[in-house]
Amino acid sequence: MSHNNVVTWNCMVSGYIRNGMIGEARQVFNTMPWRNVVSYTAMLTGYAKMGNLDEARKLFDEVGDKNVVCWNSMISGYLSNGRIEEGRALFDVMPAKNSVSWATMIEGYFKYGDVNEARRLFVEAPEKNLLVYNTMLAGYAELGYVEDSSELFRTMVEKDVASWTNMIRSLMRAGEVERGRQLFDEMPQKDVVAWTAMIQGYLDANQIDEAEKLFNEMAYCDIVAWNSIIGGYIRSNRFQDALDLFVKMPRKDIVSWNLILEGYVKQGDMVSAHKFFMEMPKRDKTTWNIIISGYESKEALILYVQMLQEGFKPDQGTFTVVLSICGALALEIWGRLVHTYLIKTGFEIDTMVVSALISMYSRCGLIEDATSVFDRTKVHDTVVWNAMIVSQAYHGSAAEAFSLLSLMIKAGCEPDSVTFVGLLIACAHSGLVGQGWKYFNSMQKWKLIPKPEHYAVMVDLLSRSGLVVEAYELVKQLPLNLPVYAWETLLSSCRVHENFELADIVAKKLSSLERQNVGMHVLLSNTYAARGMWKNAAHVRELLEDQKLKKELACSWIG
């Protein structure tokens, strides 16, 4: 077989792989009259990208004369799929390594947070060329090791645009905006990537005006720069500016369209969002996840089915959103169907999906099914433990929630803020005031600062127990604003326990916070009526009529 023919076959295989058509690529590969190391490397790279490492390794082992590219591809496949130990084992037995081998392995350790091993490999690398240095800089930047990256950058004899850009990115991500800008201004040559890194740094620091100014100074803006500033506008609630810029874009990609779709969803304008969604020239998995996440009704489930029908495979984000909606609407049958499908696609081991499953069954009133999912899960991280603790809490099973905390700590998982919200809810639903104070005060032991939601549950616990004065004293300690629903709980409890003096104070606070909240005005009116203050009650009712307030659905997060 001539060299030209082999190249042609290899190009066909590579073309299919680039388009995600691994099955078609394998068919061509199988019919090749003769294969070389390039053919095998292309196929094993394709399998690695699809996560099928067993098939990739099988092909790797079949190659008789492996070159360094083949070795690097297999190692990269292991690292990109989280199997770092197998990647390292292969790296250690390589007959010959090049700078790409060392850079790939260093990048893998940074990706999984093992900075010490990345450093050790860097020291061992016999040839520290620009690629290896830049890999170290990029790793430090990603993990926020700004001083380490600064020292490394200082010692580099040779620097290219990527070196400068990685150093700028490191400074900006660490919040060192002024140092980042100074370095940017010192750059001997700037490319569009450096400009975009600087713009993104300003956006991450919530300095949208500086980012906008820099964007307007760019001689040439690539599509990444356009998308960065549009995303910045959307995060800063300047959706109209984002729309205006979107219209001006000389070229749009799927990211551009998805950003605007996200903007509509973020604004709660689902009519416009759906219209925009239907007008999109192309959709990807992210598109579907965005539009599905915008709905809190069965419309989301209809879109989920359409997504499947159009050949898109759900991911972690899809499943968590869809399961959340199934739980919120208590759609047990839908939830079970989604559960069955995610098992087939291998997502039953994803801890975020497992957490969503537990919550879904719990909200459908099926605590036994929630427990079954928890028990079958081999890996329990903090997210999974929290889902089970919160589920037991809402079902009034305080003892089970407390027991789960003990098991969680014994398993080596540290509780976080969500854990304590669940524990406090368990106390509130069971009227365990002493236990509630114990958990609230123990947050300091875990170096956690109580947030407004923790104060809110404590207010609910104390108020339900008739300790409205204690609840108000606790509120006064909160440096931030207490959520409105907690003030409403306190006001309602003041009325029930006939503490009208405190009710007046709480009512004034509520009135200043939520002038347009119908539920609050009705509660305030009822409080005055219970006290026999008919004129005050009538005045509040008149305010409702004058302002033509619409009734809102009563929705308490406390439950």
pLDDT digits (tens, 9 = 90+) for 376-428: 998 899 999 999 999 999 999 999 999 999 999 999 999 999 999 999 999 99
Compute the distance between CA of residue 284 and CA of residue 135 in angstroms, rounded to an integer.
30
pLDDT digits (tens, 9 = 90+) for 104-163: 999 999 988 899 999 999 999 988 899 999 999 999 988 888 899 889 988 888 888 889
Per cent of the chain over pLDDT 70 is 90
Range among 196-210, 337-351, 397-411 with highest mean pLDDT value: 397-411
Over residues 85-101, the mean pLDDT reads: 91
**CB of 166 within 8 A of CB of 145?**
no
DSSP 175: T
**CB of 109 within 8 A of CB of 140?**
no
Residue 462, Cα to own-chain centre: how many angstroms? 34
Does residue 183 surpass a pLDDT of 80? yes
Per cent of the chain over pLDDT 90 is 47
Compute the distance between CA of residue 230 and CA of residue 224 in angstroms, rounded to an integer.
10
Helix (H, G, I), strand (E, B) or coil at 298: helix
Among left, alpha and beta (phi > 0; psi -120 to 50; other), residue 34 is beta
pLDDT digits (tens, 9 = 90+) for 418-470: 999 999 999 999 999 999 999 999 999 999 988 888 988 998 899 888 898 89
**CB of 105 within 8 A of CB of 88?**
yes
**CB of 493 within 8 A of CB of 502?**
no
**CB of 160 within 8 A of CB of 130?**
yes
pLDDT digits (tens, 9 = 90+) for 22-79: 777 777 777 777 777 888 788 878 878 877 888 888 888 888 788 888 888 889 888 8
Q: What is the largest CA-CA distance in the chain?
A: 100
pLDDT digits (tens, 9 = 90+) for 351-386: 999 999 999 999 999 999 999 999 999 889 999 999
Compute the distance between CA of residue 531 and CA of residue 493 in angstroms, rounded to an integer.
14
Does residue 188 surpass a pLDDT of 70? yes
Two tokens, residue 228: 């960065």
Token pair 């050949």 is found at 311
